[in-house]
Structure 1
Amino acid sequence: MQTSLLKGIVPPVITPLKSRDELDVGGLEKVIEHLLSGGVHGVFALGTTGEFASLSEEMKRDVVTHVCREIKGRVTVLVGITHTSPADSLKLARYAADQGAHALVLSTPYYFALSQVELLEYFEKMVPQLPLPVYLYNIPACTKVSIEIDTARRALELPNVVGFKDSSGNMGYFQQLLQLQNESNAWSLLMGPEELVGEAVLMGAQGGVCGGANLFPRLFVNLYEAAERGDVAEVKRLQQVVMNLASTLYRTGSYGSSFVKSLKCAMSLLGLCEDAMAGPFEKFDGEHRQRVAKVLDELDINLIRATSGPV
């Protein structure tokens, strides 16, 4: 599996739960098959959309086990190992390798904000110990630390680092990453925010890690493919549907967790999985669930049109 050449749509898979500490195994299997039938190019377990920071270590291992078991090598499996404890990151990395994962995703440790010197030292010490290829992950909104360009340049030169995912939403920063990539062409660059994926791929990025692809994988696959072939008109058309998702479904309720709550609720309404949230969050109540159902009904026509284009 050529993880160093990974391209396309790689959804950060939600973690279906029956309760706070019980995995919805059947739901996870349905979600994986839903993603594969939509044409995704890989899956990312234990990402932000997978609520990794709220899961127990046992639950994380269960997720990795069942994702790898269900994928059966059909697409690339990335596993997030970000943690406040480097020792626990290493344990999970080794477990993921044993279960058949293909690559790891490593962001910055959170809680105490690292300086850039400390961050580079962390990458330099951690990466050589990891048993699989590594994607670095920049998400300063959650970690309080941005991987600055000079730090990224040096970290991307480390053996075993094969890619970079940027969720900063800063297109100026992303263009600098593209310049770094043009100097070597040895690693994949993936966009995090789905509202920017079409633009990013048109600019030369290899793909996107789109949470909304859990719900509508074909929409995002078509968006990626349109951008890859340079069909700007089709990118604009599909991007508008993505923006509609962002401005309606994801804004249900006034919570920091609204994106994941909305996504899980919508997938539950479609019969894919349970919608329980990992603590400390609660799933949507009846009123919010009705709002999500209404948004899904209103989006349906647009999404059918969006996904009926070239594949």
Structure 2
Amino acid sequence: MSKKAFVALVTCFNDDETINYAATRAQVRRQVAAGNNIMCAGTNGDFSALTYDEKVQLTEEVVDEVGGKVDVIVNAGMPATFETLKLAREFDRIGVTGIAVITPFFIACTQDGLIRHFSTVADAVQTPVYLYDIPARTQNHIEPETARALSAHGNIAGIKDSGGAKETLEAYLAVGKSVEGFEVYSGPDHLVFWSLQNGAAGCISGLGNAMPDVLSGILNAFNSGDIAEAERQQAIYTAFRTDLYALGFPPALVKRALYLTDPSVGASRQPALLPDREQDEKIAVILKRYGLMAA
């Protein structure tokens, strides 16, 4: 089965901080043209800054724009199971490929609490549910044994690992190897190729917003058996990631890098990164180095 790349799509904003749906649709078309699938309302989509109604409309617009050409996963995860459930039911109605559920944040959870949370959501929808682990942001971590317990649920289809630790990804991949139908998607941009080699179903990448063709290049080369080309594309992706993320918070920098090549994406909602001329100049140097901006 061929492996898939999803881009954790940015949400585009107008100057008054309302969502620019037309610009967001343009980003969808750009990713579809590159051959990437879409994840919306994720970390790179500023999901924590969006209202409930906006998430529903955003998903409707993205699904409409995609028109069945690629897969769409949307993140429903919120601190309380109650709101997560409400969102998941809306996404189920809209008709997405998968519903990602980020671990609750702000509320400290036991592993048993996480099992109840994810199971409750998965019980309530027809759409396959994907666990979403990003402990650096949520302070809640899905232990590999918890992922294994949840993999037995008939409607939990896999996990997105954005922890960044290779050991955790290896442990999730071990669950995937032993449980048929449990897919592991890697989040760290520097581990795309490695994870594909080690049994991942694909990746969900934020950096793909700024470098869509290199991301699809890794996947296309891997799927066609051209390992040397996949490695070459991964090396470019990793180097770009290292240079860009050295400047600060990754999602903010991805959005800013994209903004400098296409201002229609807008800035993020406050209190996210404000435009900073000195930082923009450093980002521009990196974009030129990788041929993403005219020198």
TM-score, normalised by the number of residues in structure 1? 0.88
Describe how 1:23-172 pairs up with structure 2 within 5 A. 23-40=19-36, 42-172=37-167
Task: Give the deviation of 1:6 after TM superposition.
Answer: 8.2
Q: Which residue of 2 aligns with 1:261?
A: 252
Partner of 1:185, secondary structure, is coil
Determine if the alignment matches structure 1 residue 300 to structure 2 residue 291. Answer: yes
Q: Which amino acid is 1:33 matched to?
A: R
Tell me, yes or no, if the aligned pair for 1:44 and 1:78 is still in contact at 8 Å.
yes
Structure 1 distance, partners of 2:204, 2:2, is 11
SS of alignment partner, residue 130 of structure 2: strand
Q: Give how far 1:117 is off.
A: 1.8
1:37-75 deviations in Å (ceiling 9; x for gaps): 1111x2111111111112122222221121111111111
Give, in whole Å, the separation in 2 of the partners of 1:73 and 1:6: 18
User: Structure 2: which 5+ residue stretches go unaligned?
Assistant: none
Instruction: For residue 88 of structure 1, report the CA deviation from its aligned partner.
Output: 1.5
The count of residues paired between Structure 1 and Structure 2 equals 294
* Unmatched tracts of structure 1, length 5 or more: 304-311
**155-164 or 286-295: bigger deviation:** 286-295
The match for 1:308 is none
1:290 aligned residue: 281
For residue 277 of structure 1, what is the aligned residue in structure 2?
268
Which of 209, 216, 220 in structure 1 is aligned with 2:215? 220
1:10 pairs, out of 6, 9, 31, with 6
- What TM-score results when the alignment is normalised by the length of structure 2? 0.92
Residue 133 to residue 6, structure 1, CA distance change in 2 (3 Å): farther
Partner of 1:185: 180
CA displacement, residues 265-292 of structure 1 (integer Å, 9 cap, x when unaligned) = 2222322633211222143222222222
Provide the C-alpha distance between the structure 2 equivalents of 1:232 and 1:12, rounded to a whole number of angstroms: 25
> In the aligned structure 2, how far is the partner of 1:140 from the partner of 1:230?
34
Give the whole-Å Cα distance in 2 for the aligned partners of 1:117 and 1:25: 39
Out of 175, 196, 199, the position equivalent to 1:201 is: 196
Q: Which amino acid aligns with 1:248?
A: D
Contact preservation (8 Å) 1:46, 1:79: yes
Give 1:77 deviation, angstroms: 0.9
Contact 1:6–1:188, Cα closer than 8 Å, also in 2:
no
CA contact (8 A) 2:259 2:267 kept: no
Q: Please give the secondary structure, in 2, of the residue aligned with 1:205.
A: coil
- Aligned AA (1:177): Y
> Following the alignment from structure 1 to structure 2, what is the Cα–Cα distance between the partners of residues 126 and 205?
24
Flag the 1:131–1:185 CA change in 2: closer, same or farther, 3 A.
closer
| Alpha-carbon distance change, 237 to 192 in structure 1, aligned in 2, over 3 angstroms | same
- Looking at structure 2, the residues matched to 6 and 43 of structure 1 have their Cα atoms a distance apart, in angstroms, of 16
For residue 163 of structure 1, report the CA deviation from its aligned partner.
1.5
**Is the 8 Å Cα contact of residues 149 and 177 (structure 1) preserved in structure 2?**
yes
| Residues 71-113 of structure 1 deviation map (CA, whole Å, 9 limit, x = unaligned) | 1111111110010122211221122222232210012111121
1:233 and 2:224 matched? no
Range with bigger deviation, 223-232 or 281-290: 223-232
Tell me, yes or no, if the aligned pair for 1:275 and 1:283 is still in contact at 8 Å.
Answer: no
Q: Name the SS of the counterpart of 1:273 in structure 2.
A: helix
Equivalent residue of 2:120, what SS?
helix
Whole-Å separation in 2 of the counterparts to 1:102 and 1:208: 15
* Cα drift, residue 136 of structure 1: 0.8
Quick one: distance in 1 between partners of 2:26 and 2:75?
21
Instruction: Report the AA paired with residue 8 of structure 1.
Output: K
Change (3 A) 1:90 1:117: closer
Q: CA deviation at 1:182?
A: 1.8
Structure 1 distance, partners of 2:89, 2:67, is 18
- CA distance in 1 between partners of 2:213 and 2:128 (Å): 27
Which region of structure 1 is more displaced relative to structure 2, 269-278 or 25-34? 269-278
